[in-house]
């Protein structure tokens, strides 16, 4: 049975969510994941001040699928004024949910006293949370980590204070900031955070399939899971995990010509979204993941990723992704 979760008044079903991934979970990819089925997809993290001041590339990250019920806009920053203004801008453009990032471990973010650096100053973190909640009538959620390092594991304290301030859901990545993405996510450590609050808690980190999702839910006691890297090259992964966990209809996983057509559609959407030159560059990592999934021959893989003409790339994808055509090329 699918858990009956809500963020404010918005249903969250199934509780299998797409994580925000910088440079990956743009609008074309989120739309593709949503087409298979996902309880929620989250935009790439956008810097609040840069978003309001319209710095090139920033609003595109938040292109947001405004108005889509299952899309959340994630903002980050260190200044309460700009965080509030960014939330207002997203809400004014039709966003359904606002998510606050207090988990990003990247040095360029934490050196600016944003992301997971806020775990070192919970009073300041609460000021940002309160500013965003006061700025909009939308549900506001929070994504963070277990703590800054093994000596400062304070996510439970932050969770309690965030819930009191009005946060509607928490997502916890089962690592500290100083772990970055090393080692194994500690799903059991999320349990103390789940026990500390009444709002939904989502487990994140190293969840890539139904088996890891089940184990994460068991150890954390969480209400749902968030998938990040496990969806790279597998936009159907969330729907597949949800089907296995909750008995929902299984997605039709494309193979052969159906996979070719899906990837060509994704590629065309990226070209349309970013423009020809930038879109071709942004697409390469996605095309690489798709080809990894079907063990494309190395020479053909290299050809797809180095060919400059988007028309040629589109034509090559048939051979690269359909095993029958792939073998014909090899012969």
User: What is the rounded CA–CA span in Å between residue 73 and residue 67?
Assistant: 11
Q: 51, 62, 95, 104: which is the annotated catalytic residue? A: 104
330 CB contacts (<8 Å, ≥6 apart)?
A: 297
**181: which 2 tokens?**
């993405």
Give the sign of the dihedral formed by CA 149, CA 150, CA 155, CA 161: negative
107 CB contacts (<8 Å, ≥6 apart)?
A: none
Give the sign of the dihedral formed by CA 255, CA 260, CA 265, CA 269: positive
Cα 252 from chain centroid (whole Å): 22
Contact 136, 109 (CB under 8 A): no
Active site residue 104: yes
Q: Furthest-apart CA pair in the chain: how many Å?
A: 65
**61: which 2 tokens?**
């990250």
Contact 234, 228 (CB under 8 A): no
Peptide bond into 14 cis (omega under 30): yes
Catalytic residue IDs: 104
């Amino acid at each position: 049975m699918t858990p009956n979760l809500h963020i404010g008044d918005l249903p969250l079903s199934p509780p299998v969510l797409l994580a925000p991934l910088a440079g990956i979970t743009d609008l074309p990819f989120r739309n593709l994941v949503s087409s298979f089925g996902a309880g929620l997809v989250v935009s790439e993290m956008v810097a609040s001040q840069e978003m309001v001041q319209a710095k090139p590339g920033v609003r595109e990250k938040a292109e947001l699928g405004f108005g889509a019920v299952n899309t959340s806009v994630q903002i980050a920053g260190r200044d309460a004024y700009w965080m509030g203004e960014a939330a207002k801008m997203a809400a004014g453009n039709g966003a359904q949910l606002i998510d606050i990032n207090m988990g990003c471990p990247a040095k360029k973010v934490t050196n600016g006293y944003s992301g997971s650096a806020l775990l070192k100053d919970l009073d300041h973190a609460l000021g940002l949370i309160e500013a965003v909640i006061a700025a909009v009538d939308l549900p506001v959620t929070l994504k963070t980590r277990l703590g800054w390092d093994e000596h400062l594991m304070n996510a439970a304290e932050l969770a309690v204070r965030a819930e009191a301030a009005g946060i509607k859901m928490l997502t916890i990545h089962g690592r500290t900031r100083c772990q970055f993405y090393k080692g194994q996510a500690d799903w059991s450590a999320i349990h103390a955070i789940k026990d500390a609050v009444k709002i939904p808690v989502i487990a994140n980190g190293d969840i890539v399939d139904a088996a890891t999702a089940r184990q994460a839910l068991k150890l954390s006691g969480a209400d749902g899971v968030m998938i990040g890297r496990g969806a790279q090259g597998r936009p159907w992964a969330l729907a597949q995990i949800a089907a296995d966990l909750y008995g929902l209809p299984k997605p039709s996983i494309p193979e052969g010509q159906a996979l070719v057509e899906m990837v060509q559609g994704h590629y065309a959407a990226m070209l349309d979204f970013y423009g020809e030159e930038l879109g071709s560059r942004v697409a390469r990592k996605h095309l690489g993941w798709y080809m990894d999934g079907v063990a494309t021959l190395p020479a053909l893989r290299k050809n797809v990723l180095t060919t400059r003409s988007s028309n040629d790339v589109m034509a090559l994808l048939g051979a690269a992704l359909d095993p029958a055509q792939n073998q014909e090329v090899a012969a």
